[in-house]
Amino acid sequence: MGQNRVVRLGVIGLGNIARQHIDNLTSGRIADCELTAVCSRQPPASAAAPGIPHFTDYAELVQSGLCDAVLVATPTFTHFETGACALRAGLHVMMEKPIGLSTREGEELLELQQPGQIFALMLNQRTDPLFTTMRDIISAGTLGEITRTHWTMTNWFRPEVYFQVSDWRATWRGEGGGLLLNQCIHNLDIFQWLCGMPVSVQAFCEFGRYHDIEVEDEATAVFRYANGATGVFVGSTGEAPGVNRFDVIGDRGALAFDGERLLLCENNPGTLEFSRSTREMFGMPQSSVRDITPDRTTNQHAAVMNNFVGAILRDEALLAPAAAGLDSLAIANAMLLSTWEARAVALPLDSMCYQKALAQRIAGSTLRRKADIEATVDMSASYR
């Protein structure tokens, strides 16, 4: 595209998250990009995008010639068909997480990506200064070799009405899962982005423990890494007020986030070196602790969208290419498969094996009838 052009963007889906993206667009928070079309199953769209051409068929929007790129913000079970349509048409694609119901769907979508075509995923927490700070410290080797990781992320509480007002959420057919595919997919992405991919996962998921749903609303998993390190991940949508505690332990120090503050502990010398050299029976290496909590004020979604536009217009490197979404999805899929089959699951995941297991659940699943309830929606309260 020419250096002075803007990206003409179509938004497919007009639910809660799509309206937030549209607000960012129309408020000027995304540079060099204009909203040129929207699509939803039911008109009118005027409340979300007045004066913007509205389509009820995503394929018609894709073929309209009004857009250079699309943002797919539809229910998860439609991500594959909608994304495939846009990719085959040569449009650039930004997709809301996850990339699909399964890693196999994601792999098939990536096979459709054409040379020069930008395909990104809305992994917005990669722009959170908390996690970029942690990543910089880990990448610099400040902690030494990682020996243990632990993230308890149980403040994703969702009341029953959250599920009742949706026909697709928390169903195998509509979402391919629950807690792990919807809320914790962000945490699993950050976990592996910072600490690397485990080589095996043993998980224990609870299905409909706190809600009248068929999918998981609580999960505990143990990770094994190639270097012998271990990790634990705990997630829940049924615990209040919940906990957000993230620890990354290394030979030379540790990062500890307690939900509010980020602390850096540094050991001198490293633990292993001290252990092998000291003559003090109860000795410990000297440690210093600093509060390195960053200012987390940022519009994460706008940051990812600005990067997407920059990749199209100026060849900027993507913060979250669609292919990166396969790793967190693979962990989520492995946790479910581990629970279903009561065994540890090796990674990289056998995507066809998981697809067969998921297909069995989908075959017995249906979309629900939406409850006739007027729910109060405050999207700012949904982010953790």
Per-residue pLDDT of the chain (384 residues; tens, 9 = 90+): 545 589 999 999 999 899 999 999 999 999 999 999 999 987 655 567 888 999 999 999 999 999 999 999 999 999 999 999 999 999 999 999 999 999 999 999 999 999 999 999 999 999 999 999 999 999 999 999 999 999 999 999 999 999 999 999 999 999 999 999 999 999 999 999 999 999 999 999 999 999 999 999 999 999 999 999 999 999 999 999 999 999 999 999 999 999 999 999 999 999 999 999 999 999 999 999 999 999 999 999 999 999 999 999 999 999 999 999 999 999 999 999 999 999 999 999 999 999 999 999 999 999 988 877 777 766 566 666
**Residue that is written with structure tokens 């910072």 in the block:** 194
> Quick check: helix, strand or coil at residue 197?
coil
Where do the CATH 3.40.50.720 domains begin and end in the chain?
A: 7-123+299-321
Position 2 scores a pLDDT of: 45
The CATH number that domain 7-123+299-321 falls under is: 3.40.50.720
> 126-296+328-363, superfamily in CATH?
Dihydrodipicolinate Reductase; domain 2 (3.30.360.10)
Where do the CATH 3.30.360.10 domains begin and end in the chain?
A: 126-296+328-363
CB 117 within 8 A of CB 299: no
d(CA 162, CA 17): 14
Residues 6+ apart with CB under 8 A from 307: 120, 316, 318, 319, 320
pTM over 0.85: yes
The CA–CA distances, whole Å, from 123 to 302, 323, 370 equal: 11, 11, 28
Position 379 scores a pLDDT of: 59
